[in-house]
Homo-oligomer: A and B are copies of this chain.
């Protein structure tokens, strides 16, 4: 529980129960979560809007990152300490078509690609869909 306060403080955020609970949910469930997932997990405790704002704040501060999806945005914890300034990722995301879970594969990096002349890359997002180990 003190772990959570530390993380929040480390990102210049006030400790509130909503932020603790959202952060805690990301830590315990280990997969990528949508706003709806959080709303389901935290139930009636908080207003929808508050959860939206918490996600937005966490995004800006570099606590979570967006995970692209073909049916709605999800979010996942930033493992390597991102901050408000530096907020970059190059790991792969895997979505299982069976169980529906999306996970960061932290130790698998997106291979470099040689873009055509004139393109300047800043950010990479690779989503692989298929069957996860649990479901195959």
A residues with CB within 8 A of B: 66, 68-70, 73, 92, 94, 97, 105, 108, 110-133, 136
Contacts and interface: CB of A to CB of B under 8 A. Distances in A.
* Count of this chain's copies in the oligomeric assembly: 2
A42 to B, nearest CB: 24
Contacts of A132: 118-119
A106 B116 CA distance: 11
Given A94-B115, A111-B113, A113-B111, A68 B122 contact: no
A119 B132 CA distance: 5
B73 A66 contact: no
16 contacts: A66-B70, A68-B70, A68-B125, A68-B127, A70-B73, A94-B115, A105-B116, A108-B114, A111-B112, A111-B113, A120-B130, A121-B130, A123-B128, A125-B125, A125-B129, A126-B127
